[in-house]
Chains A and B, each alone.
Chain A
Amino acid sequence: MIWMKVAGITVVVVIIACFEWVRLDIGRVRERVVLVSIAGLSWIAALMAVLFPEMPGPIRWVEWLYRPLSGLLS
């Protein structure tokens, strides 16, 4: 089941990346680098979220960052 999810995520990321890759004009190196890096990042993030659901994500990070302040209200 978990491998189905991993495979699904991979397929979605690859489809999105390929879809955009094909549509970029020839020679746009910078665009391609950013595209691939964001796609890679989101692939890793999605795998993390699926494989380690207990691992704190960005919303948790922000919560942790501002936790000292949250007592000031109320």
Chain B
Amino acid sequence: MRKNKSISVLIQLCKRLLPLAALLSLTGCWDSDEVNSLAIVTSAGIDRTKDGAIELILEIVAPQQQQQQSGTGQSSGQKGGKGTTIVRYAIGDTAADAQGRLQWKLPRTIYWGQLQVLVVGEELARDGFREQLDYLVRVNEIRLRVMPFVTHGKALDFFDSHFLLEQTKAGFLQSEAARVFHKPLTLSRLVQRLSSDEDTAVLPFINIPEDRGDRGGEPYIKGYAVFNQGRMVGTLTGNSFLAAKWATNQLKNDVETVNVGNESPARVTYTTLAAKSRLIPIRKNGEWQMNIRIESEINMIQNTSRLPMAEPQNARLLEAAAAEHIREVVTQTVRDTQRMHADIFAFGEAIKRRNPHEWSRLEPQWNRFYPEMDFKVEASVKLRRIGMNSIPLGRQHKERTKP
């Protein structure tokens, strides 16, 4: 080694100082994001204005202590100082453009990482919002876990509506979706469906009560918005919504009522404990036919008929009635979607899985083929529980044993 003392001393000194140099790299100055310099977005809404521009609405988390003094901003949605978010919106040519304009007005940087919910206004949905979705899947902070919804009327109306049970709109919609669906739909599923061969999708459809008084009630998930070729073509509500949930394995705690027997009070109400549906494509005389096989287990919660369900033959009656009910509503709903030309149950996907070669032949004309397609619904129902009471109330035991 070179015996140069001053240099080796210098090198020794440098070595000692090296750990300190490592500290410099800890600052991470370029991409540093302090929490109190961010506007954390929890839910976003996009909508179309009358002249075709895009309106972007953001719900931003507001720190608690500021909220208590400042009250509500010009478009903030909460009342009574309970909420912890504020709502801001801007209008631009595209969603990204609107975001840029919104950023001008906000003193903090918009942070998308906590986005949980996306609300699309009905008008934009009918016009096609795929182009605006592009922005959301492109931003590197947004996860594909975001839950998309379509709202009745304008998206801003949803953000203006008030509800007291949840603190944020995002929290409200999340818990609503978790209540209604078995496995809530996410952006990932939506973009998969939109880029699939059938190009159809369903999104939860939120209803906003017209009456905004205190008794007007909260917004709730009313049904499905049906999309075909990227545009919303209709909705499935009421029984159709239930049927669509049956067929897509999304059923959760739904209450239904059927008539059992012929005597006058004959209504029996039950909830569904478990349901499983399968699509089985078969070929019949060279044409494809779809069998929708639904199996479910139900729990009777009210019995207004005179028939004690503890008796197996009566239970069979209820099961048959429930199966018939399912068959009816599902058939009707599939007919509805055929009328909308929207293959929301992924019949095409089922055929593709069964016979990929055949599908490549069928695919180009699928849009014409689907509305004409034959299908059959097979439902089988098992009565699992009848609650805490064995015979209908008010019907005495002796009456039952009378000849």
| Direct touch of chains A and B (CB < 8 A) | yes
Query: Which residues of A does B touch, CB under 8 Å?
Result: 22, 25-26
A22: chain B residues within 8 A (beta carbon): 2, 4, 7, 11
Docked CA distance A12–B346 (Å): 61
Q: List 7 A-B contacts (CB under 8 A).
A: A22-B2, A22-B4, A22-B7, A22-B11, A25-B1, A25-B2, A26-B2
Of chain B, the residue at the smallest CB distance from A22 is B7
Docked CA distance A26–B1 (Å): 7
B2: chain A residues within 8 A (beta carbon): 22, 25-26
B182 to chain A, nearest CB (A): 41
Docked CA distance A9–B157 (Å): 58
A4 to chain B, nearest CB (A): 18
A59 to chain B, nearest CB (A): 25
Of chain A, the residue at the smallest CB distance from B8 is A22
Docked CA distance A26–B2 (Å): 7
B7: chain A residues within 8 A (beta carbon): 22
Docked CA distance A32–B7 (Å): 19
A26: chain B residues within 8 A (beta carbon): 2
B4: chain A residues within 8 A (beta carbon): 22
Of chain A, the residue at the smallest CB distance from B4 is A22
B10 to chain A, nearest CB (A): 10
A23 to chain B, nearest CB (A): 8
Of chain B, the residue at the smallest CB distance from A25 is B1
Q: Mark interface residues in B1-37 (1 if CB within 8 Å of A CB, else 0).
A: 1101001000100000000000000000000000000
Docked CA distance A73–B122 (Å): 45
Of chain A, the residue at the smallest CB distance from B7 is A22
A25: chain B residues within 8 A (beta carbon): 1-2
Interface pairs A-B: 7 shortest CB-CB: A22-B7, A26-B2, A25-B1, A22-B2, A22-B4, A25-B2, A22-B11
Of chain B, the residue at the smallest CB distance from A24 is B2
Docked CA distance A22–B4 (Å): 9
B11: chain A residues within 8 A (beta carbon): 22
Within 8 A of A (CB), among B138-163: none
Point out which of B2, B7, B11 has the most chain A C-beta atoms below 10 A from its C-beta. B2
B1: chain A residues within 8 A (beta carbon): 25
Docked CA distance A58–B355 (Å): 48
Docked CA distance A26–B4 (Å): 12
Of chain A, the residue at the smallest CB distance from B3 is A26
Docked CA distance A25–B1 (Å): 5
Point out which of B1, B4, B7 has the most chain A C-beta atoms below 10 A from its C-beta. B1
Docked CA distance A14–B286 (Å): 79
Docked CA distance A22–B2 (Å): 7
B282 to chain A, nearest CB (A): 37
Of chain A, the residue at the smallest CB distance from B14 is A19
Docked CA distance A22–B11 (Å): 10
Docked CA distance A54–B368 (Å): 52
A43 to chain B, nearest CB (A): 23
B12 to chain A, nearest CB (A): 13
A31 to chain B, nearest CB (A): 14
B103 to chain A, nearest CB (A): 28
B13 to chain A, nearest CB (A): 14
B4 to chain A, nearest CB (A): 8
Docked CA distance A25–B3 (Å): 10
Docked CA distance A62–B7 (Å): 43
A38 to chain B, nearest CB (A): 21
B337 to chain A, nearest CB (A): 37
A20 to chain B, nearest CB (A): 12
Docked CA distance A25–B2 (Å): 7
A17 to chain B, nearest CB (A): 15
Of chain A, the residue at the smallest CB distance from B10 is A22
B21 to chain A, nearest CB (A): 13
Docked CA distance A60–B213 (Å): 67
